[in-house]
Amino acid sequence: MEKIIEQHIQKWLAGNYDEATKEGIKKLQQDDPDGLADAFYKNLEFGTGGLRGLMGIGTNRMNKYTIGMATQGYANYLKKCFGDVVSVAIAYDCRNNSPEFASITANVFAANNIKVYLFESLRPTPELSFTIRHFGCQGGVVCTASHNPKEYNGYKAYWDDGAQMVSPHDENVITEVEKIASVDDVKWEGGEQHIIRIGKEIDALYLAMVKGLSVYPDVCAKQHNLKIVYTPIHGTGIMLVPGALAGFGFTNVHIVEEQSMPDGNFPTVIYPNPEEKETMSIGLAKAKAMDADILLGTDPDADRVGIGVKNTKGEWILMNGNQTALLAFNYMIEARKAKGIAQPNDMVIKTIVTTDMIDKIADRAGVACYNVLTGFKWIASMIKEKEGKENYIIGGEESFGLMLGDKIRDKDAISAVAIICEMAAYEKNKGRSLFDKLIELYVEYGFYKENLISITKKGMNGAAEIAAMMEDYRKNPPQTIDGTAVEKLLDYELQKGKNLQTGAEWAIDLPKSNVLQFELADGTKISARPSGTEPKIKFYFSVNAPLLSAGHFDEVEKNLEEKIGRIVEEMKLK
């Protein structure tokens, strides 16, 4: 065993850790030395969004000690920035240990004389963002691992605008967290009088905000009987989605009972992720049996939404995140214009790996469309930059996230579910489905087909392997892919774009991020982006072709799928 690992283990065995933890270490020493090494080979990294990892004993695990040390570092930085008058809001989701982690977080903040607004029970992540803004807090935390498997938990840290932190605060908080060298540096208790419990009164305010996002309440009223199937996938969406849909006037909502109860073991799914067909299979079956109009599912902390619809053959399918986003962006642009409430300074925001079809839709409508780095904190940062000058309507990214209106600053599946159902009602009022609308947009703007492949490199060498992959792409970019010339290489880490045909270079005016994009002569775009929270690298593929009519949909889709398959094979990603 490496010396540093042994030092970490001995520090825990000799330090102020509870006896159950010490006994657990000794058991791992006997039964699972490799697992013990993985649990202690490094400190769980406090990244730019906070913590996320496997739950368990060790410096590289989510537990009360790593949570407490992170909170102490964050508390120290908040007090450096804002002085003695500081408040935070804290929420947690359905995951195992989330209530305990939230309680520990609240106690550490309170022991540092920080006022804490702590939700009385589980709540969706977007409500936490809303709450920070409502109370004028300087920060906030939600204990969640989003859509990760049940073994994981996490800790998302927020700033005073209700968004996750960007530079310089993200790096400065990391520095403060890294200064906490021992559990003895943590103020664990003694400020309980600073903790205020909150709950239904915030729910009411939040739901009123969501109701105010409706563009066509009269259409919702007319189509109130829209047959909606909803699954919270054992998560927090059950707390607010039914109320949001009722607020929009929908009266025919059916909850997937097997997945309605919050449960951190996620008994009916492997991955509690609405992107996965397996996860949505129970909902799809219910929607089919009921001949529903639409199916919606939210992840455990209710910031991502997946939707199912019937295609032109009457088959139930799941839309991908790009399709959902382009439909939502188009609706907010088109419906506001039709209603006569569009503003000359309206703007929308998307991320660099989200379909470029949205740019085309916005451009044709005369609406500014800004592209930012992946993550809603960057969408929030752009809203902040444009505040008072441009009117933000909607933001989103391909990973099943949407953010409507500026009262919150993180992705919000609660408001997304409500607006998507309004979209379905709007189209049904015209005698068609959301899928029909999607094909109409493809005919008008071109058929954009996207795909995503995630490659995980587990263990101690995973991060190094991913770094080597990126370095090779950076130094030796392909000249052709699928027989088509690679025209441009966009390197967001170096903040530089290069035309590989002419050698011309230009600056990219975005913060540094370890992302590479290859743009091909035929409009194909391939992006490579390592995850900031997991030993994973993601490859995004976007290909497109004209769609002459709805009757050509299947043929063009097949051709585009085959093209992506050839690219994946050529890049040796499978």
Q: Tens digits of per-residue pLDDT, 531-543?
A: 765 678 999 999 9
Apex CA 90: angle with CA 86 and CA 91, to 5°?
Answer: 165
Task: Report d(CA 400, CA 305) in Å as an integer.
Answer: 6
Structural tokens at position 259: 């997945």
Is omega for the bond preceding 126 within 30 degrees of 0, making it cis?
Answer: no
Nearest to 228 by CA among 208, 247, 211, 245: 245
pLDDT in tens, 96-122: 999 999 999 999 999 999 999 999 999
Nearest to 515 by CA among 411, 389, 373: 373
pTM of the model: 0.94
Structural tokens at position 66: 């790593």
321 and 275 in contact (C-beta within 8 Å)?
Answer: yes
- 158: Cβ contacts below 8 Å, ≥ 6 apart: 128, 129, 132, 139, 140, 141, 142, 164, 165, 410
So what CATH class is 44-198? alpha beta
Q: What is the DSSP letter of 407?
A: S
Judge whether 146 counts as a catalytic residue.
Answer: yes
Q: Please list, residue by residue across 127-148, b when 16 or more beta carbons sit within 10 angstroms of its beta carbon and e when fewer do.
A: bbbbbbbbbebbbbbbbbbbbb
Structural Rg of the chain based on CA atoms: 24
Q: Note the residue count of the chain.
A: 574
Apex CA 36: angle with CA 30 and CA 40, to 5°?
Answer: 145
- Residue 457: predicted pLDDT: 82
pLDDT in tens, 146-199: 989 999 999 999 999 999 999 899 999 999 999 999 999 999 999 999 999 999
Looking at the chain, the domain(s) classified CATH 3.40.120.10 span: 44-198, 206-445
pLDDT in tens, 219-265: 999 999 999 999 999 999 999 999 999 999 999 999 999 999 999 99
Confidence of residue 503 (pLDDT cuts 50, 70, 90): very high
Amino acid letter, residue 278:
E
Looking at the chain, the domain(s) classified CATH 3.30.310 span: 450-570
What CATH superfamily classification does 206-445 receive? Alpha-D-Glucose-1,6-Bisphosphate, subunit A, domain 3 (3.40.120.10)
Catalytic member of 87, 98, 146, 433: 146
Phi/psi-derived region of residue 56, left when phi > 0, alpha when psi is between -120 and 50, beta in every other case: left
Mean pLDDT of all residues belonging to the chain: 95
Q: What is the DSSP letter of 532?
A: S
Task: Report d(CA 237, CA 260) in Å as an integer.
Answer: 9
- Residue 573: predicted pLDDT: 87
- Residue 45: predicted pLDDT: 86
CA 483 to chain CA centroid, Å, is 34
Looking at the DSSP assignment, which residues form a beta bridge with residue 496? 491, 507
The CATH code for residues 450-570 is 3.30.310
pLDDT for 510 beyond 90: yes
CA 389 to chain CA centroid, Å, is 27
Task: Report d(CA 485, CA 519) in Å as an integer.
Answer: 9
